[in-house]
Amino acid sequence: MITAAAVAGMLSLVALPAAAQGTASRGPRTADGKPNLNGIWQVLTEANWDLQGHAAAAGPMIPLGAIGAMPPGQGVVEGEEIPYKPEALATKKANFADRLKLDPEVKCYLPGVPRATYMPFPFQIVQTPKFILISYEYANAARTIYMEDPGPPPVDSWMGQSVGHWEGDTLVVDVTGFNDQTWFDRAGDYHTDALHVVERYTLRGPDTLMYEATIEDKNVFTKPWKISMPIYRRLEKNVQLMEFKCVEFVEELMYGQYRKKTAK
Amino acid sequence: MKLQCALVSVLAASMCAGQGLTAKKAWTPLRTANGQPDLQGVWTNATITPLERPADLAAKPFFTPSEAAAYEKQVVENANVDRRRSDVTTDVGLAYNEAWWDRGTHVVKTLRTSLIVDPADGKLPALTPEGERRAVALAERRRLHPADGPEDRGLTERCILWPTAGPPMMPSVYNNNYQIFQGPEYVAIMVEMIHDVRIIPLDTRPHLPSGVRQWLGDSRGHWEGNTLVVDTTNFTDKTKFRGSSENLHLTERFTRTDPDTILYEYTVNDPATWTKPWTAQITMTKSASRVYEYACHEGNYGMMGILAGARAEETSSANAGAK
Amino acid sequence: MRCWIVTLIGVACWAAPPPKPANYVPPHTADGQPDIQGVWNNATLTPLERPAALASKAFFTPAEATAYEKLALEQNNRDRRGTDATSDLAGAYNQAWFDRGSKVVPTLRTSLIVDPADGKIPYSVEGEKRMAAAADYARAHPTDGPENLALADRCILWATAGPPMLPGPYNSNYQIFQAPGYVAILIEMIHDVRIIPLDRRPHLPGSVRQWLGDSRGHWEGNTLVVETTNFTDKSHFRGATGNMRLTERFTRTDANTLTYDFTVEDPATFTKPWTASIPMAKSAGPIYEYACHEGNYAVPGILGGARAQEAAVAAGK
């Protein structure tokens, strides 16, 4: 059934090579004329280990050897340092010292935003005019970006409530309604329920998304701060998200102490 | 800039005096495809010239060619002398000779009697009080804890870092081999020991953040005429080149002076350790060989033997009731 | 007599892809897919299998349906206070907590299963044996460790996710998104997302098994047909093995109804494929975050309680 919209959609696809030769920002478009962010994407930085620049270091578990060690990273924080209040910095350091017990990632808890973006797992964007769904392979975390304002978040949540709009060719996502349970990375960087995140997604060519997130939390930081990194399209043939339902993998860790002891 | 020029002319003068690398017809090096002077190939910096001028050569900054030949003969003979002793331990300890070592058989081509060119006496400048303190503390620690754990052993025994990698890249007991590759924006130096690769960007990007420290530091390079100048910072406090601190600032210069020679010069700047900067030169010679894989850690029986042996000694002396 | 005729018509209808009221034309997405987007809810009082008491009754009359609905709601909300604290606590749930819906399916069938005609799952002998063995094992090891507990209690998988996607005790909510080449179903419980590619790519390798299997979709007219394989042998949908094959059909039959049919095949468990049909109703939404695992006090409570009981027994009460 060929509708006018379908024809327009096909024409916009056909027009793609010409558009690519034109202005660099034009890029592939959806049927409603927006930059097309559909697809499977993944970040390549070491941000999930530590947002700030860091050398390589031994990991917290000796039996894991080099597998559990921390890889080095140049850092993704603009200005290099996260602007902690002094007492909050002490909390971050305490978090790091006790990270095996305290990092929610260890327990397969929902990663929150922006951490979900730079977990070392792919995610898929399914883009419609009214909603943009982001499905994360990690712990099948998911969030729906409302492109029409739904009002204030009805309840606090791990992934927050995301409201998006276009500024030119940039998708701007305003995220509020967080609880205080997630971390930003494995280095103990944390927040309270006053967290407010604004993300910006801009296509740079058909296979690269430039990503920025501005983070503010008046209880923890002296001022808002920004991270940025590219996100790359996963180009393998027939690539798809697979399941990483890690709850099963942490049951022994979390409930093993309650396991019945068999007297054998 | 003025200081740099002065240094160059001093070097040129001393080189002429030593009759080593006479600055003859300025040899024009070949160029790579993207126009850089070509340093590529496999090179060795093996040499029997010591870093510091030996005491008995204090008055002699340069050998004559015949003196050099005599020195070479003597050093090589000494290395191969039969040193059998009566007890097993000493016998094993002294069993190495040139079948194993490959320190080289020649002095540097400049015929200088030390690698150090500045200070002029060929000796390291004096340590600062802090540098002295650190050196004493380190020596004491090593004396008291020779083998408590792997961190008490040298970086070579731990298969972490070899002197040939540095930087600066100093000749060592064997395998003083390097392969240099050049791309449009990078020079890469593959160091055989221990398959370290120094990738040196040639653009103007800043160094890594000062909070990030690396064993080989962080290098940035640029060309000054036919000389590659490499600036390295961001060392860890564990690298300790000759007792240096983590604030070591190293400048290296690579100049290909003829088809078979790269003049490698480095300046060490570490006011926390030495009272003034010091500079050394080594001539690197083209090698016909290839660079081999040195899987050091993968075959590290040495560490296990040293530590287990130390533990066995402690147990046996404890059992023997020795004090 | 009337019931018999109705049954006959019902069977005849389901032999072919379900014909829908011919006058409803669904809108289309920009890339030409029939538009099934939005928030949907599939709560219903109709059980999957026909209850024994209704064995001879394939369909309610409207009056019977109303009576059934009334009874179900009363039952769910009755005061079930027991004399002791344990049974009191266990019976404490009512409609304040549950959200199973308040209606039977509009077809008035007394089961969601439409084939076989008796509304029951056609287990094979081997299937029944396996189920019985599993039940015996579960009885003998109810709380040894987390893997002995229900998938929902472990916060791994909810019946609403399946697939197939069956209504659950509450939050039987879904949001469907469509983009060129994909249909995505966000399932509220437990924030599972089924991303269904519409191209002709092959399934995952047979050695890769997933809780929700691996789905591939295509459109047949206005019906989205989704085929799913690669289940694990831990999914156990109604006792099925990991070789279960599932075919689902989504058809928007009016602006507010998405008809959802599914057919289950597993020769190791069932004597023949069986089919069920559940209408999904448009819902205002929104989909909430269900952070199940993050708030899972149940598992430590169940296991810790079992260990405490054992200790008390061992200590001679």
Residue-wise pLDDT for C141-182, tens only, equals 999 999 999 999 999 999 999 999 999 989 999 999 999 999
pLDDT level of residue A70 (50, 70, 90 thresholds): very high
**What average pLDDT does chain A have?**
90
- Flag whether residue A5 sits within 8 Å of chain C, measured between CB atoms: yes
Region A3-21: mean pLDDT is: 45
Q: Is C28 exposed, middle or buried (0-12, 13-18, 19+ CB in 10 A)?
A: middle
Number of domains in chain A: 1
What's A40's domain CATH number?
2.40.128.20
More confidently predicted of A5 and B130 = B130
User: DSSP readout, C214-254?
Assistant: EEEEEEETTEEEEEEE-B-TT--GGG--TT-EEEEEEEEEE
**Phi and psi torsions of C19, nearest 5°:** -75, 140
Region B78-105: mean pLDDT is: 77
Cα gap A120→A45, rounded to integer Å: 8
Kindly tell me if the per-residue pLDDT of B16 is higher than 80: no
**Phi and psi torsions of A183, nearest 5°:** -110, 165
Residues 74-133 of A with CB under 8 A from B: 74-75, 80
Q: What is the pLDDT of residue B100?
A: 80
CA distances for A203 relative to A231, C14, C86, C88, angstroms: 9, 48, 59, 58
Q: What is the pLDDT of residue A197?
A: 98
Any domain includes B15: no
Contact A74 B214 (CB under 8 A): no
Q: What is the pLDDT of residue C92?
A: 67
3-state secondary structure of C117: coil
Instruction: Note whether A173 and A94 are within 8 A (CB).
Output: no
Instruction: Note whether B78 and B48 are within 8 A (CB).
Output: no
Strand partners, B199: B188
**What average pLDDT does chain C have?**
90
What is the token pair recorded at C90? Answer: 């266990």
Any domain includes B94: no
Q: What is the pLDDT of residue B84?
A: 74
What is the token pair recorded at C11? Answer: 């069977």
Interface test with C, best of A11, A14, A162, A245 (most C CBs within 10 A): A245
- Flag whether residue A69 sits within 8 Å of chain B, measured between CB atoms: no
Q: How far is CA B208 from the centre of its chain?
A: 24
**Which range (B126-140, B216-230, C18-32) has the least confidence?**
C18-32
Instruction: Note whether B213 and B246 are within 8 A (CB).
Output: yes
Q: Which of A55, A75, A80 sits opposite B214 (nearest CB)?
A: A55
Q: Residue A33 CB: number of other CB atoms within 10 A?
A: 11
What is the token pair recorded at C210? Answer: 């997933």
Minimal CA–CA distance to C161: which of C246, C91, C36? C246
How far the first Cα of chain C sits from its last, in Å, is 62
Any domain includes B7: no
**Which range (A42-46, A76-80, A182-186, B79-83) has the least confidence?**
B79-83
Pairing of β C113-115 and β C173-179: unpaired
Q: Is A201 exposed, middle or buried (0-12, 13-18, 19+ CB in 10 A)?
A: buried
pLDDT level of residue A91 (50, 70, 90 thresholds): very high
What is the token pair recorded at B156? Answer: 């070579």
CA distance B208 to chain A (A): 7
What's B124's domain CATH number?
2.40.128.20
Q: How far is CA C193 from the centre of its chain?
A: 16
If you search the block for the tokens 């996607």, which residue do you land on? Answer: C165
Q: What is the pLDDT of residue C263?
A: 98
Any domain includes A229: yes
pTM (2 decimals)? 0.83
Any domain includes C85: no
Question: C194-242: per-residue pLDDT in tens?
Answer: 999 999 899 999 999 999 999 999 999 999 999 999 999 998 899 999 9
Minimal CA–CA distance to A169: which of A143, A196, A201? A201
Minimal CA–CA distance to C110: which of C56, C171, C155? C56
Any domain includes C70: no
CA distances for A16 relative to A35, A41, A126, angstroms: 12, 21, 20
What is the token pair recorded at C120? Answer: 């029951």
Any domain includes B12: no
If you search the block for the tokens 């097309």, which residue do you land on? Answer: A36
Instruction: Note whether A139 and A123 are within 8 A (CB).
Output: no
Q: Which residues have CB under 8 Å from A249's CB, separation 6+?
A: A108
Instruction: Note whether B174 and B100 are within 8 A (CB).
Output: yes
ipTM for the predicted complex comes to 0.82
Q: Which domain holds residue C212?
A: 26-57+100-314
Instruction: Note whether C269 and C263 are within 8 A (CB).
Output: no
Kindly tell me if the per-residue pLDDT of A261 is higher than 80: yes
pLDDT level of residue B103 (50, 70, 90 thresholds): confident
If you search the block for the tokens 């990632």, which residue do you land on? Answer: A105
Region A58-69: mean pLDDT is: 94
Number of domains in chain C: 1
Kindly tell me if the per-residue pLDDT of C49 is higher than 50: yes
CA distance C144 to chain A (A): 5
**Phi and psi torsions of C281, nearest 5°:** -105, 140
Task: Fill in the amino acid letter for A112.
Answer: G
Q: What is the pLDDT of residue B25?
A: 58
Region A71-98: mean pLDDT is: 96
Region C102-118: mean pLDDT is: 95
How many beta-carbon pairs below 8 A join chains A and C? 143
Q: Which domain holds residue A53?
A: 20-60+74-256
**SS3 sequence of chain B:** CHHHHHHHHHHHHHHHHHCCCCCCCCCCCCECCCCCECCCEEEECCCCCCCCCCHHHCCCCECCHHHHHHHHHHHHHHHCCCCCCCCHHHHHHCCCCCCCCCCCCCCCCCCECCCEEECCCCCCCCECHHHHHHHHHHHHHHHHCCCCCHHHCCCCCCCCCCCCCCCCCCCCCCCCEEEEEECCCEEEEEECCCCEEEEEECCCCCCCCCCCCECCCEEEEEEECCEEEEEEECECCCCCHHHCCCCCEEEEEEEEEECCEEEEEEEEECCCCECCCEEEEEEEEECCCCCCCCCCHHHCHHHHHHHHHHHHHHHHHHHCCCC
Q: What is the pLDDT of residue C236?
A: 87
More confidently predicted of B15 and A68 = A68
CA distance B209 to chain A (A): 7
Minimal CA–CA distance to C58: which of C96, C113, C7? C7
Region C4-22: mean pLDDT is: 43
Contact C37 A108 (CB under 8 A): no
**CA C90, C96, C100, C105 torsion-angle sign:** positive
Any domain includes A182: yes
Question: B268-296: per-residue pLDDT in tens?
Answer: 999 999 999 999 999 999 999 889 989 89
Q: Let me know if chains B and C touch, i.e. at least 3 Cβ pairs under 8 angstroms.
A: no
Cα gap C199→C196, rounded to integer Å: 9
Q: What is the pLDDT of residue B87?
A: 79
Which residues from chain C sit within 8 angstroms of residue A263, using beta carbons? none
Region B150-169: mean pLDDT is: 94
Question: C243-268: per-residue pLDDT in tens?
Answer: 999 999 999 999 999 999 999 999 99
Q: What is the pLDDT of residue C316?
A: 85
**Phi and psi torsions of A14, nearest 5°:** -65, -35
Cα gap B286→B43, rounded to integer Å: 5
pLDDT level of residue A262 (50, 70, 90 thresholds): confident
Instruction: Note whether B194 and B294 are within 8 A (CB).
Output: yes
- Flag whether residue A242 sits within 8 Å of chain C, measured between CB atoms: yes
Kindly tell me if the per-residue pLDDT of A5 is higher than 60: no
Kindly tell me if the per-residue pLDDT of B8 is higher than 70: no
Question: B174-186: per-residue pLDDT in tens?
Answer: 999 999 999 888 9
Q: How far is CA C196 from the centre of its chain?
A: 19
Kindly tell me if the per-residue pLDDT of B62 is higher than 80: yes
Instruction: Note whether B245 and B229 are within 8 A (CB).
Output: no
Residues 119-158 of A with CB under 8 A from C: 124, 126-129, 131, 133, 135, 140-142, 144, 150, 154-155, 157-158
Minimal CA–CA distance to C112: which of C263, C2, C239? C263
Q: What is the pLDDT of residue C17?
A: 45
Any domain includes C21: no
Q: Which domain holds residue B144?
A: 30-47+117-322
Q: What is the pLDDT of residue A13?
A: 46
Any domain includes C263: yes
Question: A170-192: per-residue pLDDT in tens?
Answer: 999 999 999 999 999 999 999 99
Region B308-320: mean pLDDT is: 90
What is the token pair recorded at C75? Answer: 């039952």
Q: Which residues have CB under 8 Å from B90's CB, separation 6+?
A: none
